[in-house]
Amino acid sequence: MTFPVVGMVGGGQLARMTHEAGIPLGVRFKLLSDTAQDSAAQVVQDVMIGDYRDLETLREFAKGCDVITFDHEHVPTEHLRALEAEGVVIRPGADALVRAQDKGVMRATLDGIAVPCPRHRIVSDPADVAAFAAEGSGFPVVLKTVRGGYDGKGVWIVRSAEEASEPFKAGVPVLAEEKVDFVRELAANVVRSPHGQAVAYPVVESIQVDGVCDTVIAPAPNLPAELSARAQQLALTIARELDVVGHLAVELFETGDGRILVNELAMRPHNSGHWTQDGAVTSQFANHLRAVLDLPLGDPRPRARWTVMTNVLGGDYPDMYFAYLHCMARDPGLKIHMYGKDVKPGRKVGHVNTYGDDLADVIERARHAADYLRGTITE
């Protein structure tokens, strides 16, 4: 067979949905997963169970893969460089991916290409945090471990030097950032291929609850066309300058005075792009595969005026399948995507997509379904 084998490191829901996007293309998929119970490992045929932090495991996994990509950013950078030196095709490559793996490197790189970011600095101890605060508008200050954080983990908002000791206990570098007084959070999702073709999805509004993405609205309501174009161009510029191959999510702050500041980068399919499964001509997952295989990219335009994605978080109601009867009968246009995960409080176990011409109705339908699946509401 001439169809390529895509190897994906990480067995979470992003790998599960990327595999799904590859099925109609005939792309063969190989997975490196922590356990056989992981979300993607339940549905992928060719699964290797192993530790992504072990170089020999990665070498063994790479055998038979035409290209390797990721559903998380946690593979040690030095391992990726070793594999590339041995001729393994990795997309995005180590030089690009380290900008998403290490927040300190990310900020330094973005500074170098004049990308607007919150004021920031690597800090060494609580006294250094206090000095950083004094250089600006004072406390509160946001502290982040430079590696390993996600969904609010590894992030602290501190209001005094006395509160700033916790982040330093892990013994890893800590990044201090000003706490931005933003109007809302946005995300610009783009995809770029090795030969330089790139596409941009509509800029979305991302609503966070307790540091976790709750709802995504596509496109972002009432976003001025000039600001939307600026956000898309900013994401495309970052993708080009950092030589990103695949999907890039640029998380942004929109400020009250009409600025946009880059908060985070993710070089993989991203929660803010899940709406594209049902709301765009070509999903982020399909375009990520096309990009890492250097195929022409698909159309990113939306299918409907509005699409809303709401995450389904675990609660105290484990039997989500029982809720399908109500959700599907109430809303035949509802799209449910479940990840095969055990239900635990606060855990992302799925998401729902709705779409239509009336934004208030689309939002209500998405939130009702997510809350009913979780058991927050029962009627």
Q: From CA 81, how far away is CA 38, in angstroms rounded? A: 27
The two three-digit tokens of residue 136, written as one number: 């600006």
Query: What whole-number distance in Å separates Cα of residue 99 and Cα of residue 108?
Result: 9
Q: Which residues of 54-91 are buried (b: 16+ CB within 10 A; e: fewer)?
A: ebebbeebbeebbbbbbbbbebbbebbeebeeeebbbb
Q: Which tokens hold the place of 352?
A: 């729902």
Task: Please state, in angstroms and rounded to a whole number, the distance separating the CA atoms of residues 291 and 133.
Answer: 42
Alpha carbon 1 to its chain centroid, in Å, reads 33
288, 247 contact by CB (below 8 A): yes
| Beta bridge mates, 32 | 9, 48
To the nearest 10 degrees (0 to 180), the angle between helices 77-85 and 94-101 is: 180
Euclidean distance between CA atoms 371 and 284, whole angstroms: 25
Beta strands (DSSP E) in 173-324 are: 174-178, 182-192, 198-200, 204-209, 212-218, 246-255, 260-266, 306-313
- For 111-219, list the strands marked E by DSSP: 120-123, 141-145, 155-158, 174-178, 182-192, 198-200, 204-209, 212-218
Specify binding-site residues. 103, 144, 177-180, 185, 263-264
In this structure, the number of other CB atoms found within 10 A of the CB of residue 253 comes to 19
Report residue 282 CA to chain centroid gap: 17
The Cβ of residue 1 has, within 10 Å, a number of other Cβ atoms equal to 6
Annotated binding site for ATP: 103, 144, 177-180, 185, 263-264
Separation of CA 316 from chain center = 26
Report yes or no: 223 and 323 within 8 Å, Cβ to Cβ. no
